[in-house]
Chains A and B, each alone.
Chain A
Amino acid sequence: MLFKLTKKGNPSFSRMDPILGELFLAAALDPWERYPEAGARLLPLPGEDEGLRLDWQDHVQPELRRHFDHERSLVAHDLRFGMIKGRGKTDVYSLEIPIEHVDAWLTTLNALRLALVEGHGFTEADLLRKTLPDLSSERGLALMQMNFYAFIQECLLQAMEGLAEENG
């Protein structure tokens, strides 16, 4: 897989193996639906104060949930209209992400990574392990998915940092 910025400044991923393309397509999954046990981590409470907690549940959490759903809808749009499946000796995918959608991608990938951790009970040791996970198990695949999304986030963060430096 290759990563670069286009002339427009959009992050672009190309020559993706099909499995990576499929992982990209899974980025728009609804983490609340797929991993309901992650709800408390995705929408945490602000502290111990009972009044504040109630206020948060009534007003802030619904607003944040709408925000996350909106960001995820932008990612789904990019995947639907920006993901290209090319044909060569083997199928390869490419994807160009509009620079103005990068925040939505960072948030959506983060939400999904957090949900994967909660859903599969990954520990800090699991996350720091440098060896390849057991890809014959669902848990191992989920760990690879999480690490792949972290790599995509790093690419997007570097792209934003590079653009910020260019713009002074």
Chain B
Amino acid sequence: MVKPGILESPETDLSESLSLPWHVVVHNDPVNLMSYVTMVFRRIFGWDTERARKHMLEVHTKGRSVVWSGRREQAEHYVQQLHSFLLLATLEKSS
């Protein structure tokens, strides 16, 4: 049943989809040095060493770490920056 004043349309679904946050995920890689990954996180996200190391160790021990969540455009920008340092990073839509 359609409630008065509410339009059920594909646009509504698209709007909801666009509003969902996107995750930037960094994946483990046996080649990149731990100190290098920590430096990259500090550089890109402006984190202090402690926070950067925490995420680096999460990548190392759990295989992946969500390093940022938010708007898709910004998430794409971060993934591109991480790729420019040769880190394995992907974009995932929040479920």
User: Residue B69 at the A interface, CB < 8 A?
Assistant: no
Q: Would you call A110 and B91 a contact (CB within 8 A)?
A: no
Question: Chain B contact residues: over half helix, strand or loop, or mixed?
Answer: mixed
Assembled-state Cα–Cα distance A47/B32 (Å): 20
B35 CB contacts on chain A under 8 angstroms:
154, 157-158
Residue in B33, B80, B86, B92 whose CB lies within 8 Å of A111:
B86
Assembled-state Cα–Cα distance A76/B36 (Å): 22
A153 CB contacts on chain B under 8 angstroms:
33, 36
A110 CB contacts on chain B under 8 angstroms:
31-32, 36, 85-86
Assembled-state Cα–Cα distance A42/B88 (Å): 9
B92 CB contacts on chain A under 8 angstroms:
47
Residue in A45, A106, A111 whose CB lies within 8 Å of B36:
A106
Q: Would you call B86 and A150 a contact (CB within 8 A)?
A: no
User: Residue B89 at the A interface, CB < 8 A?
Assistant: yes
Residue in A42, A52, A106, A107 whose CB lies within 8 Å of B76:
A52
Closest to B88 in A: A44
Q: Would you call A64 and B36 a contact (CB within 8 A)?
A: no
- A-B CB pair tally, cutoff 8 Å: 58
A67 CB contacts on chain B under 8 angstroms:
84
Q: Would you call A64 and B80 a contact (CB within 8 A)?
A: yes
Q: Which of A9-68 contact B (CB under 8 A)?
A: 42-47, 49, 52, 60, 64, 67
User: Residue B10 at the A interface, CB < 8 A?
Assistant: no
Assembled-state Cα–Cα distance A64/B39 (Å): 19
Q: Which of B77-95 contact A (CB under 8 A)?
A: 79-80, 83-86, 88-93
User: Residue A138 at the B interface, CB < 8 A?
Assistant: no
Q: In the complex, how many angstroms separate the beta carbon of A1 from the nearest chain B beta carbon?
A: 19
A49 CB contacts on chain B under 8 angstroms:
91, 93
User: Residue B30 at the A interface, CB < 8 A?
Assistant: yes
User: Residue A113 at the B interface, CB < 8 A?
Assistant: yes
Residue in A47, A106, A107 whose CB lies within 8 Å of B91:
A47
Closest to B42 in A: A164
B88 CB contacts on chain A under 8 angstroms:
44
